[in-house]
Amino acid sequence: MKLQLLSLALITTAGMTAATISSPDSKLVVTTDLSGGKPVYSVSYDGKPIIMESPLGFDTNIGDFTKGLTLVGEKTGVVNKSFEQGKIKKSHIDYNANQLIAEYKNAKGQKMSIEWLVSDNDIAFRYLIPAEGDTRSLIIEKEATGYRFPDFTTTFLTPQSDAMIGWKRTKPSYEEHYKADAKMDEPSQYGHGYTFPALFHVGDNGWALLTETGVDGYFCGSRLSDYTDGVYTIAYPMPEENNGNGSANPAIGLPGKTPWRTITVGSTLKPIVETTIPWNVVEPLYTATEPVKPGRGTWSWILWQDPSINYDDQIKYIDFAAAMGYENVLIDNWWDTNIGKDGIAKLARYAQSKGVNLLIWYSSSGWWNDIEQGPTNIMSRPIPRKEEFKWLQSLGIKGIKVDFFGGDKQETMRLYEDILSDANDYGISVIFHGCTMPRGWERMYPNYVGSEAVLASENLVFGQNFCDNAAFNASLHPFIRNAAGCMEFGGTVLNHRLNRGNDGGTTRATSDAFELATAILFQNPVQNFALAPNNLTDAPEAAIEFMKAVPTTWNETVFIDGYPGKYVILARRHADKWYIAGVSANKEPLKLKLDLPMLQKDQMVTVYAEDGKKPLEAKELKIKKPESVAMELNNNGGFIIVADAK
Ligand code: CA
């Protein structure tokens, strides 16, 4: 890891208000200015406007930094950084950005700086607040930071829900529907704006993905307001979140800073899908006590539901995981009542004898929802939490899933961080469900291995409508939710009916090849697939063989083709193999000519696809023209090409 600040030159700014900062390739340009004492910025790409003049600044309990500002000085520099990261879409990252720090003074003479980092397709910016006088803390009452897109822009957004609604009053939990290509002035479903990440199609000018990173226990998670007076503004949590516990506004110790807000920009969707900005501008906050083992697993709860949380059914799933060569089995809610600690100890020993690790479920609560599924009241406070981790460690259990958090308040961010930090002391890695989206956490917290924060596979069981819309959702995530953070979806269903007997409940609408493709498209370092023991005999043999060998970590991710909500094709490389995967929600079959630069002329590859109504097969194919590989993609269908890397 190398962090270099090559030059930090102070520019004299007497009488100046404007400054421009460009990416190393000069295509992405941020212009900052003061408009009547109010800080503003705009963004263009390749000479075309992406974000029009938009507000910056924030108002605090000690002073207002939204107006009456003068520019005190500016420093420019360069950030060049290289690092390895095993849990995201890419393993080696080179980050090269130009830096601008603009320092302002408000009417009371209080100072604040805005730091900008602009790389070829990404902008990251944050506010820096010094300690002055006797003041060592402040509360941000309102942030002015906004995003004003050209009026022809369309949106791909998911709304923030009301607080304290839904299952056992657990929302908001980033489990809402997306609208594709919506107009900006369409009101949000609940009237509380939208959660990050947020994708905008700025017509022919390009695309922009907004999110934030570096959020830890020192700040709340933020979101976008509704579109008001032509602008989306940063909004903080609602006071009702987390059962009203904890303040809605962030409090900062001084000197202090806000999280990075990021804008990924491109003329195509390629930079959106491939961005690593959430990880480029953060650093690990501690060292892992145990190396995190990415891995595949399965879990009885997804298809067999609550009645399967018993000793005998868990043995069946451990045997199934062993037969698949999988590393993990997740034991979901109610194990405390239905299996008990002695039973878990026996299961852990049995699993270890089969080369399988257990992941164990907990509720985060607590006094912030009505969850009764146990165990509760363990992860909420450090004393029982650390006792529990000591017990898990004594059994050799190295992973937990913690569910049902209380929103985005700073207090809740502190709970996420506390759980991660305590778990790390006992060599335990952590998956979050019923939760917020990660904000740089793959890099910040070495034992963090995934978040739900999406309408995940459980909804396939809960409602037919979700099965019918699975392809639409799958065609969105690589461009939005999963572009900004790992996504523990729990997918790849090979049952045709989503119940224990594969004979009732909801009906899967997607093909087997589609399901295999999502194992590649949905990125999370720990995958809990929605497979069942019966799939060993009732699923196509090629599908099972593929799922036995599928990796969960990636050296490279390359966008090939697609449009959010319609279809998506990505190539991901694991070691010496490329996996090129596509799915489609397009009503008509798509006849595509794919440019696959990772393949060579006359290379033999393996294609997993359906041929009409025939079951999925693995077929060998010779690539004639890598720059134009014909592929037909049906509605609710998919394909995968597996090829040796050059
Ligand atoms: Ca959930």
The model's pLDDT over 315-357, given as tens digits with 9 standing for 90+, comes to: 999 999 999 999 999 999 999 999 999 999 999 999 999 999 9
In angstroms, what is the span from residue 528 Cα to ligand 1's centroid? 13
**Rounded to the nearest whole angstrom, what is the distance from the C-alpha of residue 555 to the centroid of ligand 1?**
29
**Over 60: is that where the pLDDT of 10 sits?**
no
Q: What is the mean pLDDT of the chain?
A: 96
Alpha carbon of 183 to ligand 1 centroid (Å): 28
* β-bridge mates for residue 20, sequence order: 31
Q: What is the pLDDT of residue 291?
A: 87
pLDDT per residue as tens digits for the range 42-57:
999 999 999 999 999 9
**Rounded distance from Cα 214 to ligand 1 centre (Å):** 24
pLDDT recorded at residue 14? 53
Neighbours of 375 (CB within 10 A): 18
pLDDT attached to residue 612: 79
* 157 φψ region: left (φ > 0), alpha (ψ -120 to 50), beta (else): beta
Ligand 1 centroid – CA 500 distance (Å): 20
Compute the distance from residue 551 Cα to the ligand 1 centre, in Å.
Answer: 24
In the predicted structure, residue 173 carries a pLDDT above the cut 90 = yes
In DSSP terms, which residues pair with 523 in a beta bridge? none
- Tell me the CA–centroid distance for residue 144 and ligand 1, in Å: 32
For the ranges 6-15, 76-85, 255-264, 624-633, the lowest mean pLDDT is seen at 6-15
Tell me, in angstroms, the distance from the centre of ligand 1 to residue 434's CA: 5
Name the pLDDT band for 292 (thresholds 50, 70, 90).
Answer: confident
CA of 458 to the centre of ligand 1 (A): 7
pLDDT digits (tens, 9 = 90+) for 222-247: 999 999 999 999 999 999 999 999 99
pLDDT (tens digit per residue) in 89-141: 999 999 999 999 999 999 999 999 999 999 999 999 999 999 999 999 999 99
pTM (2 d.p.):
0.97
Distance between Cα 62 and ligand 1 center (Å): 40
Separation of 455 CA from ligand 1 center, angstroms? 7
* Separation of CA 557 and ligand 1 centre (Å): 27
Q: Determine the distance separating the centroid of ligand 1 and the alpha carbon of 466, expressed in angstroms.
A: 14
Lowest average pLDDT, out of 75-89, 197-211, 402-416, 611-625, goes to 611-625
Q: How confident is the model at residue 15 (pLDDT cuts 50, 70, 90)?
A: low
Per-residue pLDDT tens over the stretch 16-25: 778 999 999 9
Contact in structure between 272 and 199 (CB atoms under 8 Å)? yes
Contacts of 215 (CB under 8 A, 6+ apart): 221, 222, 259, 413, 439, 440
Section 299-319 average pLDDT: 98
CA of 20 to the centre of ligand 1 (A): 43
Please give the Cα distance from 279 to 440 (Å, whole number).
Answer: 5
| CA-based max dimension of the chain | 76
Nearest to 489 by CA among 447, 522, 531: 522
Q: What is the distance in A from the centroid of ligand 1 to the CA of 454?
A: 8
pLDDT tens per residue across span 516-572: 999 999 999 999 999 999 999 999 999 999 999 999 999 999 999 999 999 999 999
Name, in order, each residue with C-beta under 8 angstroms of 495's C-beta and a sequence gap of 6 or more: 303, 502, 508, 530, 532, 534, 535
pLDDT in tens, 412-469: 999 999 999 999 999 999 999 999 999 999 999 999 999 999 999 999 999 999 999 9
pLDDT in tens, 373-401: 999 999 999 999 999 999 999 999 999 99
User: 170 alpha carbon to ligand 1 midpoint, in Å?
Assistant: 10
Residue 1 in this model has a pLDDT that exceeds 50: no
Query: How far away, in angstroms, is 456 Cα from ligand 1 center?
Result: 6
Beta-ladder partners of 155: 182, 200
Contacts of 1 (CB under 8 A, 6+ apart): 81, 82, 83
401 Cα to the center of ligand 1, angstroms: 11
Asked whether 246 and 158 are in contact (CB, 8 A), the reply is no
Give the pLDDT band of residue 7 (cuts 50, 70, 90): very low
